[in-house]
Amino acid sequence: MWTLEDVATYLNVKHRWLQNNWKTVGIPMTKVGNQLRCFPTDLAEWLEQQAA
């Protein structure tokens, strides 16, 4: 699973922006304990849906 920092780097957005907006934008992140994580395959699917 990717960390919040990994996803921010991949999407080329700031860590803080992603932390504040992931729910609003609909990025498929999951809380694991107190940290946000994302499966790369889920992120790829989400990006494909955004492009459609």
CA angle 4, 38, 5 (to 5 degrees): 15
Domain hosting residue 11, numbered range:
2-51
What is the chain's mean pLDDT, rounded? 95
| Count of domains forming the chain | 1
Looking at residues 17-21, what average pLDDT do you find?
Answer: 96
Q: Does residue 19 have a pLDDT over 90?
A: yes
d(CA 10, CA 34): 21
> Over pLDDT 90: what percentage of the chain?
96
Other C-beta atoms closer than 10 Å to the C-beta of 7 total 22
Q: How confident is the model at residue 52 (pLDDT cuts 50, 70, 90)?
A: confident
